[in-house]
Amino acid sequence: MNLIGEKISYKPDEQFHLNDVSFNFKKGNLYTILGRTLSGKTTLLKTIAGLLNPDQGSISFEEKDFIKIPVWERNVAMVYQQFINYPHLNVYENITFPLVQRKLSAEQIKSDVDEALKTVGLVGFENRKIQELSGGQQQRVALARSLAKKAKILLLDEPLVNLDYKLREQLREEFKRIFSEGLSQDTILIYSTTDPQEVMELNGEVIVLDEGKVLQKGPAKEIFENPTNLKVAEISNDPPMNVLKGSKNLKNLNFENIFLEIPNHFKNLEDKDYNFGIRASEVKLDDSGEEFEIELAEISGSETLLHLKRGNSKIIALIEEVMNFKIHEKVKIKFNENKFYAFGEDEKLVSSPYGGSNG
């Protein structure tokens, strides 16, 4: 009874948009697709919706070959990152559109739409024109339309990306509530995003996609703690995880003429060259630390992002207060050794502070 995709490939031009993607989505679960822009997230969702036909591979749902079923008979719902509503209809008509299309009874339609309007908090907006609504409200209408349909597969394609920061935070909170209350156990929810924080907050099963390829699958916590390779570590962290080329020898870790004590979880590592990974939040200003040169200091919210350089290595440090720095100033920083990741020269995970490894 699951939505199963097997070895799906889609290559409309020179490049793969989807490359050998397989999945097994179970009803009642939330799945997030994490990937950078142009990683194939939208293509994957459109393939599931039926707007695109893959060149290879199969999709089946409830034991039926999904690819043979045209879009309009698939009973899926999709919310786009652009706020797509029917401009010639008002809010109420927009939400009833798919229900009328399915020829449901008038009472059924009314109760479904009222429920959906309540869920997204748009009661009282029924007769408004779409153009009179703000971006956030327009996206709520789109969400209400897909909820009212009670589709078995609900696809959300970066639904928050075009909203401003404040509204995004607010709607993200609401999404969590709507997903936990408003969805039946019969629904598969698939949510795509570029934002690692969104993935962690929604806390579903994650698929990390890059250049059309699945890099890693697993629960959000697992992706965060044990990214199987460097790419995943970069994609699933914002700012991306810092990478330092270095080596381990008997006594210490060594990169850019910095020598650090070997943390406990690295004790059994072979002595050789590694790509060490460390999150921006595990790099702290400390006068007893190592000297780096500031390339750029960005203030974002109540945090400061310091772009630092030493030798050939560039790293980012996340400082949890607003501070002013001069460019090219030298600062001293300290790494939290216990949070170091080690990736091999093939970029695969060798050791993580949370015990994961690639074998």
The CA distance from 24 to 60, in Å, is: 10
What are the two backbone dihedrals, phi and then psi, of residue 186, each rounded to the nearest 5 degrees?
-95, -5
CA–CA distance, 119 with 115 (Å, rounded to integer): 6
Q: Which token pair is 78? A: 């999709």
State yes or no: residue 41 binds other proteins (CB under 8 A). Answer: no
Minimum separation from the CB atom of position 124 to other proteins (A)? 23
With contacts defined by CB under 8 A, name the span among 81-89, 191-199, 332-340, 350-358 that binds other proteins. Answer: 81-89
Helix (H) or strand (E) holding 79: strand 76-79
Residue closer to other proteins (CB basis): 129 or 332: 129
The 100-129 site mask, x for binding other proteins (CB under 8 A), equals: -xx---------------------------
The amino acid that residue 249 corresponds to is N
Binding to other proteins by residue 354, rule CB under 8 A? no
Least distance to other proteins from the beta carbon of 288, Å? Answer: 55
301 binds other proteins (CB under 8 A): no
Measured from the CB of residue 217, what is the shortest distance to other proteins in angstroms?
26
Grouping H, G, I as helix, E, B as strand and the rest as coil, residue 153 is: strand
Binding region for other proteins (CB under 8 A) out of 30-38, 64-72, 160-168, 209-217: 64-72
**Which one among 34, 77, 116, 163 touches other proteins, defined by CB under 8 A?**
77
Residue at 122: amino acid letter: L
Q: Which of 13, 63, 70, 326 binds other proteins (CB under 8 A)?
A: 70
Least distance CB 262 / other proteins (angstroms): 53
Q: Which of 17, 41, 149, 231 binds other proteins (CB under 8 A)?
A: 149
Give me 141's structure tokens.
């209408």
Number of residues located near other proteins, criterion CB under 8 A: 25
Check residue 283 for interaction with other proteins (CB under 8 A): no
Write the binding mask 165 to 204 for other proteins: x where contact by CB under 8 A, - elsewhere.
----------------------------------------
CB of residue 14 vs other proteins: minimum separation in angstroms? 16
Alpha carbon distance 345, 358 (integer Å): 13
Which residues from 230-249 bind other proteins, rule CB under 8 A?
none
Write down the residue that tokens 């600062």 correspond to: 331
| Residue 18 vs 206, nearer CB to other proteins | 18
Edge-to-edge strand ranges of the sheet holding 3-10: 18-25, 3-10, 56-61, 64-65
Q: Minimum CB separation from other proteins for residue 38, in Å? A: 17
Exposed / middle / buried, residue 10 (Cβ in 10 Å: 0-12, 13-18, 19+): buried
Tell the smallest beta-carbon distance from residue 286 to other proteins (Å): 50
CA-to-CA distance for 190 and 77, rounded, in angstroms?
A: 10
> Quick check: 194 and 228 in contact, CB under 8 A?
no
145 binds other proteins (CB under 8 A): yes
Nearer to other proteins, 73 or 287 (CB): 73
Return the ∠ at Cα 282 (arms to 277 and 287), rounded to 5°: 115
Give the H or E element holding residue 290. strand 283-300
Cα dihedral across residues 205, 209, 213, 216: positive or negative = negative
Task: Identify the burial level of 291 via C-beta atoms within 10 angstroms of its C-beta, where 0-12 means exposed, 13-18 middle and 19 or more buried.
Answer: exposed
* Of the residues 84, 167, 294, 318, which one makes contact with other proteins according to CB under 8 A: 84
Burial class (CB in 10 A: 0-12, 13-18, 19+), 248: buried
Kindly tell me which residue out of 17, 25, 35, 46 binds other proteins, with binding defined by CB under 8 A. 46
**Site residues (vs other proteins, CB under 8 A):** 46, 49-51, 70-74, 76-78, 80, 82, 84, 86-88, 97-98, 101-102, 131, 145, 149
